[in-house]
Chains A and B, each alone.
Chain A
Amino acid sequence: MQTLTQRLANPTRFMELSARLLPWFVAASAILLVYGLYLSFFDSPPDYQQGETVRIMYIHVPCAWLSMMIYGLIALSSFGLLVFRHPLADVSAKAAAPLGAAFTFLALVTGSLWGKPMWGTYWVWDARLTSVLLLFFLYLGLIALRSALEDEGAAAKLTAVLALVGVTLLPIIKFSVNWWNTLHQPSTDFGATVDPSMRLPLLVMALAFTLMFFAMHLKAMRNEILRRRAKALRTQIIMGRDRLAAQGAAE
């Protein structure tokens, strides 16, 4: 009896399954996104302190959540590649890195847009902001290392090593940043308890964003598999042409 991950090791089977799943993911995330946006813009109260700007939260929090979840996914895929040599693990890690960087960037941008009316400045060196910024740098490192290496197999494994190093050091980095901030200024607790009327739109948006990420991730993985197939075909064609030319020369 094969487990699901073992069965998915066959790229053809993965392509079939993902082709069937993808429309459902897209539809579900689109419906939830529309519903969530409606809830967050029209059917939730403005905050008694923050007013209408609190609505930025419904975009900001899902992005921040995804920025962490995607790094976890990359670390998991890297582990799968290095330990189990799962053929799709690298495809997954490669497809997830730019998406993760994008969501982390969105979390930073929406956060600073929210910060301007609330704290009076676009950027404060708050512990949480700083650790998200460092997470963004880790994503950039992953993308840069992969693009700098020509051999795709080695690039995959080296990036996986870097991802695992990053995930082991992440708690230490996070802890040190917290420590650093509390040293310089008293930590400000912005995360007050959330009212139920705001919790529902937030949950819906978080779910919609997560599904949206998985839809994009599946699509990116399919693209990557197709790209690799196209590359393999191209080398086959070139090799075949060379063989024909060699035969022609022999005759």
Chain B
Amino acid sequence: MTGVWALLHRDLRLAVREGGAIGTALGFFLIVVSLMPLGLGPDLNLLARIAAGVLWIALLLAALLSLNRIFEADYEDGTLDVLATGPLPLELVSAIKALAHWITTGIPLAILAPVLGILLNLDLNAYPVLVGTTLVGTPAVSFLGAVGAALTMKTRRGGLLLALIVLPLYVPTLIFGISAVSASAGPSGAGSSFLILAAVSLVTMVLGPVAAAAALRIQIQ
């Protein structure tokens, strides 16, 4: 258990002290969202209607930016070899690394999302649901992303390949995240979509580390 905390602590501290990654993701998120009205026109009714979708898609793209850092740096400086020979199973290592990614990227993006909602004239009643869905949905982004990051760890120009591999897998998260926000205004409420989104996140949190660890084992001999 101390090993788990130590590794999580290390990853979080690295992310904070290296800087850059979190700020870049947040800046990218801000810019993509503010480009949308420039492309679509300043009609506030239109923007309010598509706000949830724009926010979610921009969030996914912003999270993609930092995904390839999950394993790459540790692979290059040999830390991953040490971790692989250490007492922690690789499944747990990849789960911790994905969790650290969620804490350093998923949570800041989820907190920024409602602020950007103002720019898009998002319905005020949808704010709690928006924060809820982004908080509950982003673990799926990090844990599926860890699988993609592990698969593309050794490739050059891995970033684009990572996007190609991972984005189709994000479809359920995207669909249920958006449908929960848009259903919150309707009569049925956000309940069912929200629960399915949580289920998708839980499934990826269980399966993701297993697949990521398998991919890591193949590459660290």
Q: How far is the CA of A166 from the CA of B164 in the complex (A)?
A: 13
A-binding segment of B22-30, B59-67, B81-89, B150-158: B150-158
Check B179 against A149 for contact (C-beta < 8 Å).
no
Take A145-B151, A158-B151 as given contacts and tell me if A172 and B203 are in contact as well, using a CB distance cutoff of 8 Å.
yes
A140 interface neighbour in B164, B175, B179, Cβ under 8 Å: B164
Which A residues are in CB contact (< 8 Å) with B156? 148
Q: Which of B156, B168, B219 has the most CB of A within 10 A?
A: B168
A138 contacts the other chain (Cβ, under 8 Å)? yes
Q: Is the interface of B mostly helix, strand, loop or mixed?
A: helix
Select which of A134, A148, A166, A172 is within 8 A of B155 by beta carbon. A148
Counting CB contacts under 8 A, is A179 at the interface? Answer: yes
- Please indicate the chain A residues that have their CB under 8 angstroms from the CB of B161 in the complex: 144-145, 148
CA distance A158 to B179 in the complex (A): 33
Please give, as numbers and ranges, the residues of chain B lying within 8 Å of A165 by CB-CB distance.
147, 169, 207, 211
Q: Chain B contacts of A140 at CB under 8 A?
A: 164
Instruction: Answer whether A145 and B172 are a contact pair too, CB < 8 Å, given A157-B218, A161-B218.
Output: no
- Would A134 and B171 be within 8 Å (CB), given that A144-B165, A176-B176, A180-B179 are in contact? yes
Q: Would you call B164 and A144 a contact (CB within 8 A)?
A: yes
User: Cβ of B158: which chain A residues have Cβ within 8 Å of it?
Assistant: 148
Chain A residues contacting B176 (CB-CB under 8 Å) are 176, 179
Complex formed: what's the CA distance from A173 to B164 in Å?
A: 16
Q: B154 to chain A: which residues have CB within 8 Å? A: 149, 151, 154
For the complex, is B131 an interface residue (Cβ under 8 Å from A)? no
| Residue A141 interfacial (CB < 8 Å) | yes
Mark out the residues of chain B between 138 and 191 whose CB falls within 8 Å of any chain A CB in the assembled complex.
Answer: 147, 151-152, 154-158, 161, 164-165, 167-169, 171-172, 175-176, 179, 183
Is there contact, CB below 8 Å, between A173 and B168? yes
Does A137 lie within 8 Å of B151, measured CB to CB? Answer: no
| Residue among B164, B172, B219 making CB contact with A176, cutoff 8 Å | B172
Give chain A's interface residue range (CB within 8 Å of chain B): 20 to 34
Closest B residue, CB atoms, query A178: B175
A139's nearest neighbour on chain B, judged by CB, is B168
The one of A144, A145, A169 that contacts B169, using a Cβ cutoff of 8 Å: A169
| Residues of A close to B36: CB separation below 8 A | none
A173 surroundings in chain B (CB, below 8 A): 168-169, 171-172
List B contacts of A164 (CB < 8 A). Answer: 211
Give chain A interface residues in 172-201, CB to chain B under 8 Å: 172-173, 175-177, 179-180, 183
Q: B21 interface residue, CB < 8 Å from A?
A: no
Residue of A nearest to B158 (CB): A148
Q: Does B169 contact A166, Cβ atoms closer than 8 Å?
A: yes
Q: Which 8 A-B pairs have the closest CB atoms?
A: A176-B172, A148-B155, A137-B168, A141-B165, A180-B175, A157-B218, A176-B175, A172-B172
Q: Jot down 11 A-B pairs with beta carbons below 8 A, ordered by A.
A: A140-B164, A145-B152, A157-B218, A158-B218, A165-B207, A168-B207, A173-B169, A173-B172, A175-B172, A176-B172, A180-B175
A145-B151, A183-B183 known; 13 new pairs, CB 8 Å cut-off, are A137-B167, A148-B157, A149-B154, A154-B218, A158-B151, A164-B211, A165-B147, A169-B169, A169-B172, A172-B200, A173-B169, A179-B175, A179-B176
